Structure 1
Amino acid sequence: MYLIRSNFKLTAMKKLLFVLVLLGSLIIVRSQDKELRNEHPILGSMPGFTLYDFDKRDFGAYSFCDVNGDDYIVEGQITYYYYECDDSTDPKNILNRFEEIGDSLNANIYGDGKNQLYMVLQVDHRRMYVDLFAEDFYYTLNIIERGELKSEIKAEDLVKDLEQIGKSVLYFNFKRNECELTSDCKEIIEMIVKALKSIPTRGLSIDAYTDNIGRRDDNLEVSRRRAENLYNELVKLGIDPQRMVYNGYGEENPIADNNTVMGRAFNNRIELVKK
Protein backbone atom coordinates (compact mmCIF):
# COMPACT_ATOMS: atom_id res chain seq x y z
CA MET A 1 0.00 0.00 0.00
CA TYR A 2 2.84 2.34 0.87
CA LEU A 3 4.58 1.67 -2.48
CA ILE A 4 1.41 2.36 -4.45
CA ARG A 5 0.88 5.68 -2.71
CA SER A 6 4.54 6.63 -3.28
CA ASN A 7 4.23 5.81 -6.97
CA PHE A 8 1.05 7.87 -7.13
CA LYS A 9 2.80 10.86 -5.52
CA LEU A 10 5.76 10.46 -7.88
CA THR A 11 3.47 10.39 -10.94
CA ALA A 12 1.58 13.47 -9.70
CA MET A 13 4.85 15.32 -9.14
CA LYS A 14 6.02 14.44 -12.65
CA LYS A 15 2.77 15.77 -14.08
CA LEU A 16 3.12 18.96 -12.03
CA LEU A 17 6.71 19.43 -13.20
CA PHE A 18 5.62 18.87 -16.80
CA VAL A 19 2.89 21.50 -16.46
CA LEU A 20 5.34 23.99 -14.89
CA VAL A 21 7.89 23.42 -17.66
CA LEU A 22 5.18 23.81 -20.29
CA LEU A 23 3.95 27.05 -18.70
CA GLY A 24 7.50 28.36 -18.50
CA SER A 25 8.02 27.63 -22.18
CA LEU A 26 4.79 29.38 -23.09
CA ILE A 27 5.80 32.44 -21.05
CA ILE A 28 9.19 32.56 -22.81
CA VAL A 29 7.57 32.19 -26.25
CA ARG A 30 4.98 34.87 -25.47
CA SER A 31 7.73 37.17 -24.14
CA GLN A 32 9.81 36.64 -27.29
CA ASP A 33 6.73 37.16 -29.45
CA LYS A 34 5.94 40.42 -27.65
CA GLU A 35 9.54 41.59 -28.09
CA LEU A 36 9.39 40.86 -31.83
CA ARG A 37 6.10 42.75 -32.11
CA ASN A 38 7.62 45.76 -30.37
CA GLU A 39 10.77 45.84 -32.48
CA HIS A 40 10.88 48.54 -35.11
CA PRO A 41 9.90 47.02 -38.48
CA ILE A 42 12.69 48.81 -40.36
CA LEU A 43 15.54 49.23 -37.89
CA GLY A 44 15.09 45.98 -35.95
CA SER A 45 17.59 45.25 -33.16
CA MET A 46 21.25 44.44 -32.63
CA PRO A 47 21.92 40.65 -32.56
CA GLY A 48 22.61 39.40 -29.03
CA PHE A 49 20.66 42.22 -27.37
CA THR A 50 17.35 41.90 -25.52
CA LEU A 51 14.63 44.54 -25.39
CA TYR A 52 14.13 45.54 -21.73
CA ASP A 53 12.11 48.71 -22.03
CA PHE A 54 9.70 50.04 -24.62
CA ASP A 55 7.45 53.07 -24.74
CA LYS A 56 5.34 54.51 -27.53
CA ARG A 57 3.54 57.86 -27.68
CA ASP A 58 1.21 58.57 -30.55
CA PHE A 59 2.21 62.23 -30.56
CA GLY A 60 4.84 64.31 -28.79
CA ALA A 61 7.70 66.79 -29.15
CA TYR A 62 11.35 65.70 -29.12
CA SER A 63 14.55 67.77 -28.99
CA PHE A 64 16.64 66.48 -31.91
CA CYS A 65 20.16 67.47 -32.99
CA ASP A 66 21.18 68.75 -36.43
CA VAL A 67 24.52 68.25 -38.20
CA ASN A 68 25.90 71.40 -36.57
CA GLY A 69 25.11 70.19 -33.07
CA ASP A 70 22.19 72.56 -32.59
CA ASP A 71 18.95 71.32 -31.05
CA TYR A 72 15.57 71.72 -32.70
CA ILE A 73 12.10 70.36 -31.99
CA VAL A 74 10.63 67.48 -33.98
CA GLU A 75 7.00 66.48 -33.50
CA GLY A 76 5.36 63.17 -34.31
CA GLN A 77 4.99 59.62 -33.03
CA ILE A 78 7.80 58.91 -30.54
CA THR A 79 9.01 55.38 -29.77
CA TYR A 80 11.64 54.58 -27.15
CA TYR A 81 13.69 51.33 -27.01
CA TYR A 82 16.19 50.16 -24.39
CA TYR A 83 18.31 47.09 -25.24
CA GLU A 84 20.87 45.22 -23.14
CA CYS A 85 23.27 42.34 -23.74
CA ASP A 86 24.92 39.93 -21.30
CA ASP A 87 28.45 40.50 -22.59
CA SER A 88 30.36 43.72 -23.06
CA THR A 89 30.79 45.03 -26.61
CA ASP A 90 32.40 48.00 -28.31
CA PRO A 91 29.77 50.77 -28.78
CA LYS A 92 31.23 51.37 -32.25
CA ASN A 93 29.94 47.94 -33.29
CA ILE A 94 26.42 49.08 -32.45
CA LEU A 95 26.87 52.38 -34.26
CA ASN A 96 28.29 50.61 -37.32
CA ARG A 97 25.38 48.17 -37.42
CA PHE A 98 22.78 50.95 -37.54
CA GLU A 99 24.90 53.07 -39.86
CA GLU A 100 24.81 50.21 -42.38
CA ILE A 101 21.01 50.11 -42.10
CA GLY A 102 20.88 53.88 -42.57
CA ASP A 103 23.14 53.73 -45.62
CA SER A 104 20.87 51.14 -47.22
CA LEU A 105 17.94 53.56 -46.76
CA ASN A 106 19.85 56.63 -48.03
CA ALA A 107 19.65 58.28 -44.62
CA ASN A 108 21.42 61.46 -43.61
CA ILE A 109 23.78 60.13 -40.91
CA TYR A 110 25.94 62.02 -38.43
CA GLY A 111 27.19 61.80 -34.83
CA ASP A 112 30.32 61.76 -32.69
CA GLY A 113 31.58 58.36 -33.91
CA LYS A 114 31.87 57.10 -30.33
CA ASN A 115 28.52 56.78 -28.59
CA GLN A 116 26.02 58.91 -30.49
CA LEU A 117 24.43 58.46 -33.90
CA TYR A 118 21.69 60.49 -35.58
CA MET A 119 19.80 59.56 -38.74
CA VAL A 120 17.16 61.36 -40.76
CA LEU A 121 15.48 59.34 -43.48
CA GLN A 122 12.39 59.07 -45.61
CA VAL A 123 10.56 55.73 -45.75
CA ASP A 124 7.43 55.58 -47.89
CA HIS A 125 5.32 58.49 -46.62
CA ARG A 126 7.12 58.83 -43.30
CA ARG A 127 9.96 61.08 -42.24
CA MET A 128 11.99 59.33 -39.52
CA TYR A 129 14.38 60.90 -37.02
CA VAL A 130 16.58 58.39 -35.17
CA ASP A 131 18.57 59.19 -32.01
CA LEU A 132 20.85 56.29 -31.00
CA PHE A 133 23.06 56.23 -27.91
CA ALA A 134 25.32 53.22 -27.28
CA GLU A 135 27.45 52.01 -24.37
CA ASP A 136 29.41 48.78 -23.89
CA PHE A 137 26.43 46.72 -22.70
CA TYR A 138 23.32 48.65 -23.74
CA TYR A 139 21.91 51.07 -26.27
CA THR A 140 18.83 53.28 -26.53
CA LEU A 141 16.82 54.28 -29.56
CA ASN A 142 14.46 57.23 -29.79
CA ILE A 143 12.58 57.19 -33.09
CA ILE A 144 10.36 60.08 -34.10
CA GLU A 145 8.10 59.50 -37.09
CA ARG A 146 5.93 62.03 -38.85
CA GLY A 147 3.73 61.41 -41.83
CA GLU A 148 4.71 63.24 -44.98
CA LEU A 149 2.95 63.06 -48.31
CA LYS A 150 4.43 64.19 -51.58
CA SER A 151 2.08 65.46 -54.28
CA GLU A 152 3.33 63.91 -57.52
CA ILE A 153 0.36 64.95 -59.64
CA LYS A 154 1.09 66.43 -63.08
CA ALA A 155 -0.39 69.69 -64.37
CA GLU A 156 -2.68 67.92 -66.83
CA ASP A 157 -3.96 65.62 -64.09
CA LEU A 158 -4.66 68.59 -61.82
CA VAL A 159 -6.69 70.20 -64.62
CA LYS A 160 -8.58 66.94 -65.12
CA ASP A 161 -9.34 66.70 -61.37
CA LEU A 162 -10.64 70.27 -61.31
CA GLU A 163 -12.84 69.84 -64.37
CA GLN A 164 -14.14 66.33 -63.70
CA ILE A 165 -14.10 65.97 -59.89
CA GLY A 166 -14.26 69.62 -58.94
CA LYS A 167 -11.16 69.71 -56.77
CA SER A 168 -7.58 68.50 -56.33
CA VAL A 169 -5.99 67.62 -52.97
CA LEU A 170 -2.35 68.64 -52.49
CA TYR A 171 0.24 68.18 -49.72
CA PHE A 172 2.95 70.70 -48.84
CA ASN A 173 4.33 69.04 -45.67
CA PHE A 174 4.18 72.14 -43.52
CA LYS A 175 5.88 71.83 -40.15
CA ARG A 176 3.55 72.07 -37.18
CA ASN A 177 2.08 75.53 -36.71
CA GLU A 178 4.21 76.89 -39.56
CA CYS A 179 2.75 78.50 -42.65
CA GLU A 180 5.69 79.41 -44.87
CA LEU A 181 6.13 77.73 -48.24
CA THR A 182 9.66 76.33 -48.34
CA SER A 183 11.94 75.65 -51.29
CA ASP A 184 10.68 72.05 -51.23
CA CYS A 185 7.33 73.40 -52.45
CA LYS A 186 8.78 75.02 -55.58
CA GLU A 187 8.05 72.09 -57.89
CA ILE A 188 4.41 71.70 -56.87
CA ILE A 189 3.77 75.46 -57.05
CA GLU A 190 5.22 75.61 -60.57
CA MET A 191 2.95 72.70 -61.50
CA ILE A 192 -0.12 74.57 -60.18
CA VAL A 193 0.85 77.69 -62.16
CA LYS A 194 1.25 75.63 -65.34
CA ALA A 195 -2.14 74.01 -64.81
CA LEU A 196 -3.96 77.29 -64.11
CA LYS A 197 -2.41 79.02 -67.12
CA SER A 198 -3.77 76.24 -69.31
CA ILE A 199 -7.34 77.03 -68.12
CA PRO A 200 -7.20 80.85 -67.90
CA THR A 201 -10.93 81.38 -67.28
CA ARG A 202 -11.29 78.87 -64.46
CA GLY A 203 -11.93 80.33 -61.00
CA LEU A 204 -10.34 78.68 -57.99
CA SER A 205 -10.79 78.46 -54.23
CA ILE A 206 -7.68 77.64 -52.18
CA ASP A 207 -8.93 75.78 -49.07
CA ALA A 208 -6.44 74.79 -46.37
CA TYR A 209 -6.97 72.28 -43.53
CA THR A 210 -5.02 70.99 -40.53
CA ASP A 211 -5.18 68.01 -38.17
CA ASN A 212 -6.74 68.34 -34.69
CA ILE A 213 -3.55 68.71 -32.63
CA GLY A 214 -3.55 71.98 -30.68
CA ARG A 215 -6.22 74.61 -30.10
CA ARG A 216 -9.05 74.85 -32.61
CA ASP A 217 -8.67 78.64 -33.02
CA ASP A 218 -4.93 78.31 -33.63
CA ASN A 219 -5.48 75.62 -36.25
CA LEU A 220 -8.03 77.82 -37.98
CA GLU A 221 -5.57 80.72 -38.17
CA VAL A 222 -2.69 78.49 -39.32
CA SER A 223 -4.81 77.06 -42.14
CA ARG A 224 -5.92 80.55 -43.22
CA ARG A 225 -2.33 81.80 -43.39
CA ARG A 226 -1.22 78.73 -45.35
CA ALA A 227 -3.96 79.32 -47.91
CA GLU A 228 -3.08 83.02 -48.08
CA ASN A 229 0.62 82.27 -48.63
CA LEU A 230 -0.14 79.97 -51.53
CA TYR A 231 -2.51 82.56 -52.99
CA ASN A 232 0.20 85.26 -52.79
CA GLU A 233 2.79 82.96 -54.36
CA LEU A 234 0.51 82.16 -57.30
CA VAL A 235 -0.22 85.87 -57.83
CA LYS A 236 3.51 86.57 -57.75
CA LEU A 237 3.99 83.99 -60.52
CA GLY A 238 1.43 85.54 -62.82
CA ILE A 239 -1.97 84.14 -61.86
CA ASP A 240 -4.75 86.77 -61.89
CA PRO A 241 -5.81 87.40 -58.25
CA GLN A 242 -9.40 87.94 -59.42
CA ARG A 243 -9.59 84.27 -60.34
CA MET A 244 -8.86 83.08 -56.81
CA VAL A 245 -10.12 83.21 -53.24
CA TYR A 246 -8.58 81.55 -50.20
CA ASN A 247 -10.03 80.03 -47.02
CA GLY A 248 -8.76 78.36 -43.86
CA TYR A 249 -10.95 75.67 -42.30
CA GLY A 250 -8.61 74.38 -39.59
CA GLU A 251 -9.44 70.90 -38.36
CA GLU A 252 -12.87 70.76 -39.99
CA ASN A 253 -13.76 68.03 -42.52
CA PRO A 254 -10.98 65.50 -41.77
CA ILE A 255 -10.44 62.93 -44.51
CA ALA A 256 -8.46 60.49 -42.33
CA ASP A 257 -8.05 59.35 -38.71
CA ASN A 258 -6.36 62.04 -36.59
CA ASN A 259 -5.27 59.37 -34.09
CA THR A 260 -2.53 58.10 -36.41
CA VAL A 261 0.63 59.68 -37.83
CA MET A 262 -0.42 59.10 -41.42
CA GLY A 263 -3.98 60.20 -40.75
CA ARG A 264 -2.76 63.57 -39.51
CA ALA A 265 -0.51 63.87 -42.56
CA PHE A 266 -3.52 63.34 -44.85
CA ASN A 267 -5.56 65.94 -42.97
CA ASN A 268 -2.86 68.62 -43.27
CA ARG A 269 -3.72 69.47 -46.84
CA ILE A 270 -4.66 72.18 -49.30
CA GLU A 271 -7.57 71.62 -51.65
CA LEU A 272 -7.87 73.51 -54.91
CA VAL A 273 -11.60 73.73 -55.56
CA LYS A 274 -13.28 74.72 -58.83
CA LYS A 275 -15.44 77.85 -58.62
Structure 2
Amino acid sequence: MTEEAAATGQLESGQAESESEGADAGFDLGKAPVSTVALGEFPFVSLPEGYEPINKPRTLSIARVPFWTGDRLEQVEGKTYVVTIQAQKGVTYSAFELMRNIEHVIEQAGGVKVTDSRIPSEVLKSVGSDVSVGLIDGWGDVYNNPVQTYVIRTADKTVWVHLCSNSMDAGLLIVEAQAFEPTASLLPADALKQQLDIDGKVALQIHFAVDKADILPESQPQVDQVLKLLQQHPSLKLSVDGHTDNTGNADRNQALSEARAQAVAAALTAQGIEAKRLQAQGFGQSQPVADNSTQDGKAANRRVELVRLD
Protein backbone atom coordinates (compact mmCIF):
# COMPACT_ATOMS: atom_id res chain seq x y z
CA MET A 1 0.00 0.00 0.00
CA THR A 2 1.36 3.44 -0.86
CA GLU A 3 1.86 6.10 1.77
CA GLU A 4 -0.95 8.13 0.19
CA ALA A 5 -3.33 5.19 0.20
CA ALA A 6 -2.46 4.42 3.80
CA ALA A 7 -3.23 7.99 4.78
CA THR A 8 -6.56 7.81 2.95
CA GLY A 9 -7.43 4.56 4.70
CA GLN A 10 -6.53 6.18 7.99
CA LEU A 11 -8.91 8.98 7.11
CA GLU A 12 -11.84 6.69 6.37
CA SER A 13 -11.76 5.04 9.79
CA GLY A 14 -10.52 8.08 11.68
CA GLN A 15 -13.03 10.47 10.13
CA ALA A 16 -15.98 8.25 10.96
CA GLU A 17 -14.77 7.96 14.55
CA SER A 18 -14.16 11.71 14.82
CA GLU A 19 -17.55 12.67 13.40
CA SER A 20 -19.36 10.12 15.54
CA GLU A 21 -17.66 11.20 18.73
CA GLY A 22 -17.99 14.86 17.77
CA ALA A 23 -21.76 14.48 17.67
CA ASP A 24 -21.77 13.22 21.26
CA ALA A 25 -18.86 14.88 23.05
CA GLY A 26 -17.55 17.58 20.71
CA PHE A 27 -14.52 17.56 18.47
CA ASP A 28 -11.29 16.44 20.13
CA LEU A 29 -8.19 17.43 18.17
CA GLY A 30 -6.13 14.90 20.09
CA LYS A 31 -8.18 12.10 18.50
CA ALA A 32 -7.67 13.28 14.93
CA PRO A 33 -5.39 10.94 12.95
CA VAL A 34 -1.77 11.95 12.45
CA SER A 35 -0.93 12.06 8.76
CA THR A 36 2.47 11.09 7.36
CA VAL A 37 1.86 12.78 4.00
CA ALA A 38 4.31 15.56 3.11
CA LEU A 39 2.21 18.72 2.91
CA GLY A 40 4.53 20.88 0.85
CA GLU A 41 4.56 24.66 1.07
CA PHE A 42 2.02 26.85 2.85
CA PRO A 43 -0.94 27.23 2.26
CA PHE A 44 -0.84 23.50 1.34
CA VAL A 45 -4.16 23.57 -0.61
CA SER A 46 -4.32 24.65 -4.27
CA LEU A 47 -7.49 25.85 -5.96
CA PRO A 48 -9.23 23.40 -8.31
CA GLU A 49 -9.18 23.85 -12.06
CA GLY A 50 -11.69 26.46 -13.22
CA TYR A 51 -11.56 28.52 -10.02
CA GLU A 52 -9.53 31.59 -9.10
CA PRO A 53 -9.23 34.27 -6.39
CA ILE A 54 -11.48 37.31 -6.77
CA ASN A 55 -8.77 39.53 -5.32
CA LYS A 56 -5.14 38.87 -4.46
CA PRO A 57 -4.98 36.32 -1.62
CA ARG A 58 -3.54 37.57 1.68
CA THR A 59 -1.06 35.76 3.90
CA LEU A 60 -0.83 37.02 7.49
CA SER A 61 2.22 36.04 9.52
CA ILE A 62 -0.08 35.47 12.49
CA ALA A 63 -3.79 35.85 13.18
CA ARG A 64 -6.33 34.36 15.53
CA VAL A 65 -9.15 32.65 13.67
CA PRO A 66 -12.26 30.95 15.14
CA PHE A 67 -12.94 27.58 13.50
CA TRP A 68 -16.41 26.05 13.87
CA THR A 69 -16.19 22.46 15.13
CA GLY A 70 -19.92 21.74 15.16
CA ASP A 71 -20.26 22.45 18.88
CA ARG A 72 -18.01 25.46 19.52
CA LEU A 73 -15.63 27.97 17.98
CA GLU A 74 -12.03 26.80 18.36
CA GLN A 75 -9.68 29.78 18.48
CA VAL A 76 -6.57 28.99 16.43
CA GLU A 77 -3.50 31.22 16.15
CA GLY A 78 -0.95 30.94 13.38
CA LYS A 79 0.09 31.83 9.86
CA THR A 80 -3.11 32.55 7.95
CA TYR A 81 -4.12 32.41 4.27
CA VAL A 82 -7.21 34.44 3.33
CA VAL A 83 -8.98 34.37 -0.05
CA THR A 84 -12.36 34.65 -1.80
CA ILE A 85 -12.83 32.13 -4.62
CA GLN A 86 -14.88 32.50 -7.77
CA ALA A 87 -15.31 30.59 -11.04
CA GLN A 88 -13.13 31.61 -13.95
CA LYS A 89 -14.74 33.30 -16.94
CA GLY A 90 -16.77 30.78 -18.93
CA VAL A 91 -17.01 28.33 -16.00
CA THR A 92 -20.26 27.84 -14.09
CA TYR A 93 -19.72 28.24 -10.36
CA SER A 94 -20.68 25.19 -8.31
CA ALA A 95 -20.43 25.30 -4.53
CA PHE A 96 -20.67 21.51 -4.42
CA GLU A 97 -17.90 21.04 -6.98
CA LEU A 98 -15.63 23.43 -5.12
CA MET A 99 -16.33 21.75 -1.77
CA ARG A 100 -15.67 18.26 -3.16
CA ASN A 101 -12.39 19.37 -4.70
CA ILE A 102 -11.18 20.98 -1.48
CA GLU A 103 -12.34 17.93 0.44
CA HIS A 104 -10.43 15.65 -1.92
CA VAL A 105 -7.21 17.58 -1.34
CA ILE A 106 -7.72 17.35 2.43
CA GLU A 107 -8.32 13.61 2.17
CA GLN A 108 -5.18 13.12 0.08
CA ALA A 109 -3.25 14.98 2.77
CA GLY A 110 -4.58 12.65 5.46
CA GLY A 111 -6.89 15.23 6.99
CA VAL A 112 -10.40 14.93 8.38
CA LYS A 113 -13.63 16.83 8.02
CA VAL A 114 -14.58 18.26 11.41
CA THR A 115 -18.02 19.55 10.47
CA ASP A 116 -20.33 20.62 7.65
CA SER A 117 -22.94 22.70 9.43
CA ARG A 118 -24.20 26.19 10.16
CA ILE A 119 -22.79 28.29 12.96
CA PRO A 120 -25.70 29.20 15.28
CA SER A 121 -26.60 32.89 15.30
CA GLU A 122 -26.00 33.17 19.05
CA VAL A 123 -22.46 31.84 18.54
CA LEU A 124 -21.81 34.25 15.67
CA LYS A 125 -22.60 37.15 18.00
CA SER A 126 -19.39 36.38 19.88
CA VAL A 127 -17.22 36.81 16.76
CA GLY A 128 -15.35 40.12 16.79
CA SER A 129 -14.97 42.56 13.91
CA ASP A 130 -11.32 41.52 13.53
CA VAL A 131 -12.73 38.35 11.95
CA SER A 132 -16.17 39.33 10.61
CA VAL A 133 -14.69 42.41 8.92
CA GLY A 134 -10.92 41.97 8.94
CA LEU A 135 -11.03 38.45 7.51
CA ILE A 136 -14.31 38.75 5.59
CA ASP A 137 -12.77 37.65 2.28
CA GLY A 138 -11.98 34.28 3.83
CA TRP A 139 -14.79 34.13 6.40
CA GLY A 140 -17.51 34.18 3.76
CA ASP A 141 -21.25 34.51 4.31
CA VAL A 142 -21.41 32.33 7.40
CA TYR A 143 -24.65 34.03 8.42
CA ASN A 144 -26.64 32.37 5.64
CA ASN A 145 -24.62 29.30 4.68
CA PRO A 146 -23.07 26.23 6.33
CA VAL A 147 -19.31 26.03 6.79
CA GLN A 148 -16.98 23.11 6.22
CA THR A 149 -14.09 22.79 8.65
CA TYR A 150 -11.16 20.43 8.12
CA VAL A 151 -8.04 19.58 10.08
CA ILE A 152 -4.76 18.12 8.86
CA ARG A 153 -2.59 16.96 11.74
CA THR A 154 1.03 15.90 11.21
CA ALA A 155 3.86 15.17 13.62
CA ASP A 156 5.09 18.78 13.49
CA LYS A 157 2.11 20.93 12.57
CA THR A 158 -1.66 21.27 12.61
CA VAL A 159 -3.48 22.88 9.69
CA TRP A 160 -7.07 24.13 9.96
CA VAL A 161 -9.19 24.85 6.86
CA HIS A 162 -12.46 26.83 6.76
CA LEU A 163 -14.64 26.93 3.63
CA CYS A 164 -17.93 28.78 3.30
CA SER A 165 -19.71 28.93 -0.08
CA ASN A 166 -22.71 30.79 -1.38
CA SER A 167 -24.23 30.69 -4.87
CA MET A 168 -21.55 32.92 -6.41
CA ASP A 169 -18.28 32.57 -4.50
CA ALA A 170 -16.64 31.11 -1.38
CA GLY A 171 -14.44 32.23 1.47
CA LEU A 172 -11.39 30.13 2.33
CA LEU A 173 -9.22 30.42 5.44
CA ILE A 174 -6.19 28.21 6.08
CA VAL A 175 -4.23 28.44 9.33
CA GLU A 176 -1.01 26.67 10.17
CA ALA A 177 -1.30 26.63 13.95
CA GLN A 178 1.73 27.87 15.79
CA ALA A 179 2.71 27.30 19.39
CA PHE A 180 2.79 30.54 21.38
CA GLU A 181 6.30 31.90 21.77
CA PRO A 182 6.31 34.37 24.67
CA THR A 183 8.28 37.56 24.10
CA ALA A 184 7.64 39.10 27.51
CA SER A 185 10.40 38.45 30.02
CA LEU A 186 9.81 37.32 33.59
CA LEU A 187 9.48 40.21 36.04
CA PRO A 188 11.18 39.18 39.31
CA ALA A 189 9.81 40.25 42.69
CA ASP A 190 12.24 43.15 43.11
CA ALA A 191 11.35 44.53 39.65
CA LEU A 192 7.65 44.27 40.50
CA LYS A 193 8.22 46.21 43.73
CA GLN A 194 10.24 48.89 41.96
CA GLN A 195 7.53 49.39 39.32
CA LEU A 196 4.81 49.55 41.98
CA ASP A 197 6.79 52.16 43.91
CA ILE A 198 7.24 54.29 40.76
CA ASP A 199 3.88 53.96 38.99
CA GLY A 200 1.62 52.34 41.55
CA LYS A 201 0.90 49.50 39.14
CA VAL A 202 2.64 46.95 36.94
CA ALA A 203 1.38 44.92 33.96
CA LEU A 204 2.02 41.18 33.74
CA GLN A 205 1.67 39.00 30.67
CA ILE A 206 0.09 36.02 32.40
CA HIS A 207 -1.24 33.57 29.82
CA PHE A 208 -4.48 31.65 30.12
CA ALA A 209 -6.17 28.88 28.16
CA VAL A 210 -8.13 30.32 25.22
CA ASP A 211 -11.44 31.83 26.38
CA LYS A 212 -10.88 30.40 29.89
CA ALA A 213 -9.46 31.45 33.25
CA ASP A 214 -7.04 28.54 33.56
CA ILE A 215 -3.49 29.83 34.10
CA LEU A 216 -1.12 28.10 31.68
CA PRO A 217 1.93 26.33 33.19
CA GLU A 218 4.30 28.66 31.32
CA SER A 219 3.00 31.57 33.44
CA GLN A 220 3.41 29.88 36.81
CA PRO A 221 6.94 31.31 37.31
CA GLN A 222 5.49 34.83 37.03
CA VAL A 223 2.76 34.03 39.55
CA ASP A 224 5.48 32.67 41.85
CA GLN A 225 7.30 36.02 41.65
CA VAL A 226 4.12 37.85 42.70
CA LEU A 227 3.86 35.41 45.60
CA LYS A 228 7.47 36.15 46.55
CA LEU A 229 6.75 39.89 46.40
CA LEU A 230 3.83 39.56 48.79
CA GLN A 231 5.81 37.33 51.14
CA GLN A 232 8.71 39.81 51.25
CA HIS A 233 6.41 42.78 51.93
CA PRO A 234 3.72 41.64 54.41
CA SER A 235 2.01 45.06 54.53
CA LEU A 236 1.57 45.27 50.77
CA LYS A 237 -2.00 45.07 49.47
CA LEU A 238 -2.81 44.69 45.80
CA SER A 239 -5.69 44.87 43.39
CA VAL A 240 -5.43 42.18 40.72
CA ASP A 241 -7.02 43.67 37.60
CA GLY A 242 -7.88 41.59 34.53
CA HIS A 243 -7.99 43.04 31.00
CA THR A 244 -8.76 41.57 27.56
CA ASP A 245 -8.46 42.66 23.95
CA ASN A 246 -11.61 43.48 21.96
CA THR A 247 -12.02 40.07 20.31
CA GLY A 248 -15.54 38.75 20.75
CA ASN A 249 -18.46 39.98 22.83
CA ALA A 250 -17.85 42.82 25.31
CA ASP A 251 -19.98 41.24 28.04
CA ARG A 252 -18.13 37.96 27.65
CA ASN A 253 -14.79 39.77 27.80
CA GLN A 254 -15.87 41.53 30.99
CA ALA A 255 -16.77 38.23 32.64
CA LEU A 256 -13.58 36.61 31.37
CA SER A 257 -11.38 39.40 32.74
CA GLU A 258 -13.03 39.07 36.15
CA ALA A 259 -12.58 35.31 36.19
CA ARG A 260 -8.91 35.60 35.23
CA ALA A 261 -8.21 38.18 37.93
CA GLN A 262 -9.91 35.94 40.45
CA ALA A 263 -7.84 32.96 39.25
CA VAL A 264 -4.59 34.83 39.90
CA ALA A 265 -5.78 35.97 43.33
CA ALA A 266 -6.88 32.42 44.14
CA ALA A 267 -3.47 31.05 43.12
CA LEU A 268 -1.84 33.43 45.61
CA THR A 269 -4.22 32.77 48.51
CA ALA A 270 -3.77 29.04 47.93
CA GLN A 271 -0.09 29.60 48.79
CA GLY A 272 -0.87 31.30 52.09
CA ILE A 273 -1.43 34.95 51.16
CA GLU A 274 -4.28 36.40 53.24
CA ALA A 275 -7.36 37.09 51.12
CA LYS A 276 -7.81 40.52 52.75
CA ARG A 277 -4.56 41.66 51.10
CA LEU A 278 -5.98 41.13 47.63
CA GLN A 279 -8.94 42.30 45.62
CA ALA A 280 -9.75 40.99 42.15
CA GLN A 281 -11.64 42.87 39.48
CA GLY A 282 -12.03 42.82 35.72
CA PHE A 283 -12.26 45.61 33.17
CA GLY A 284 -12.83 43.56 30.02
CA GLN A 285 -11.83 45.42 26.87
CA SER A 286 -12.59 48.88 28.27
CA GLN A 287 -9.00 49.95 29.08
CA PRO A 288 -6.73 49.11 26.12
CA VAL A 289 -3.09 50.17 26.29
CA ALA A 290 -2.36 49.42 22.62
CA ASP A 291 -4.04 49.33 19.20
CA ASN A 292 -6.47 46.41 18.98
CA SER A 293 -6.21 46.43 15.18
CA THR A 294 -2.84 44.64 15.35
CA GLN A 295 -1.94 41.26 16.84
CA ASP A 296 0.86 42.83 18.91
CA GLY A 297 -1.60 45.37 20.24
CA LYS A 298 -4.09 42.70 21.17
CA ALA A 299 -1.36 40.76 22.99
CA ALA A 300 -0.46 43.84 25.02
CA ASN A 301 -4.10 44.42 25.93
CA ARG A 302 -4.52 40.86 27.21
CA ARG A 303 -2.88 41.45 30.56
CA VAL A 304 -3.15 41.29 34.34
CA GLU A 305 -2.25 44.41 36.25
CA LEU A 306 -1.17 44.62 39.87
CA VAL A 307 -2.29 47.92 41.39
CA ARG A 308 -1.02 49.05 44.78
CA LEU A 309 -3.72 49.66 47.39
CA ASP A 310 -2.77 52.33 49.93
Please provide the CA RMSD for this pair.
3.7
Letter in 1 for 2:80: T
Residue in structure 1 matched with residue 263 of structure 2 by the alignment = 229
Rounded to whole Å, the distance in 1 between the matches of 2:153 and 2:285 is 38
Q: Quick one: distance in 2 between partners of 1:206 and 1:235?
A: 12
The AA in structure 1 aligned to 2:176 is I
Partner of 1:61: 66
Q: Distance in 1 between matches of 2:153 and 2:248?
A: 32
Matched residue, 1:142 = 175
CA distance in 1, matches of 2:199, 2:42: 46
Supply the AA of the counterpart residue of 2:293: N
Query: Are the equivalent residues in 1 in contact too, given 2:255–2:282 (CA < 8 A)?
Result: yes
Structure 1 residues 236 and 147 mapped into 2: Cα distance closer, same or farther (>3 Å)? same
How far is the alpha carbon of 1:78 from its aligned partner? 5.1
Task: Please give the alpha-carbon distance, in whole angstroms, between the structure 1 residues aligned to 2:81 and 2:230.
Answer: 46
Q: Which residue of 2 aligns with 1:251?
A: 285
Contact 1:149 1:266 in 2 (8 A): no
Specify the SS of the correspondent of 2:246. coil
Counterpart of 1:164 (choices 198, 205, 209) is 198
Q: Which amino acid aligns with 1:142?
A: V
What residue identity is the alignment partner of 2:207?
N
Q: Is it true that 1:189 corresponds to 2:223 in the alignment?
A: yes
Residue deviations 1:46-85 (CA, integer Å, cap 9, x gap): 9xxxxx9733475422489xxxxxxx93433652289xxx
Number of residue pairs matched by the alignment: 179
**Partner SS, residue 80 of structure 1:** strand
Mapped partners of 1:75, 1:247: distance in 2:
27
Aligned to 2:76: 75
Find the counterpart in structure 2 of residue 27 from structure 1.
none
TM-score relative to the length of structure 2: 0.49
Structure 2 match to 1:202: 236
Q: State how 1:1-275 maps to structure 2 within 5 Å.
A: 54-56=57-59, 59-62=64-67, 73-76=74-77, 79-80=80-81, 117=154, 119=156, 142-144=175-177, 148-275=182-309
* Deviation at residue 175 of structure 1 after TM alignment: 3.2
Return 5+ residue gaps in structure 1 as ranges: 1-42, 47-51, 65-71, 83-94, 96-114, 121-128, 133-139
| Structure 2 unmatched runs, 5+ | 1-39, 44-52, 84-108, 110-151, 162-172
Q: Cα distance, 1:118 vs. partner?
A: 5.5
* Equivalent position SS for 2:57: strand
Residue aligned with 2:297, SS: helix
Mapped to 1, the partners of 2:42 and 2:277 lie a distance apart of 55
Counterpart-to-counterpart distance in 1, 2:254 and 2:211? 10
How far did 1:199 drift? Answer: 1.3
Q: Which has the higher strand share?
A: 1
Q: CA deviation at 1:237?
A: 0.7
TM-score (norm: length of structure 1)? 0.54
Percent identity (aligned): 25
Between 72-81 and 246-255, report the one with greater CA deviation: 72-81
Distance (whole Å) between structure 1 residues aligned to residue 244 and residue 302 of structure 2: 4
* CA 166–205 in structure 1, closer or farther in 2 if over 3 Å, else same: same
Residue 75 of structure 1 aligns with an amino acid whose one-letter code is: V
**How big is each residue's C-alpha offset from its partner over 1:215-274, in whole Å with a ceiling of 9 and x where there is no partner?**
111100000000011111100111111111110000011011111111111111000001
Counterparts in 2 of 1:63 and 1:217: CA distance versus 1, 3 Å: closer
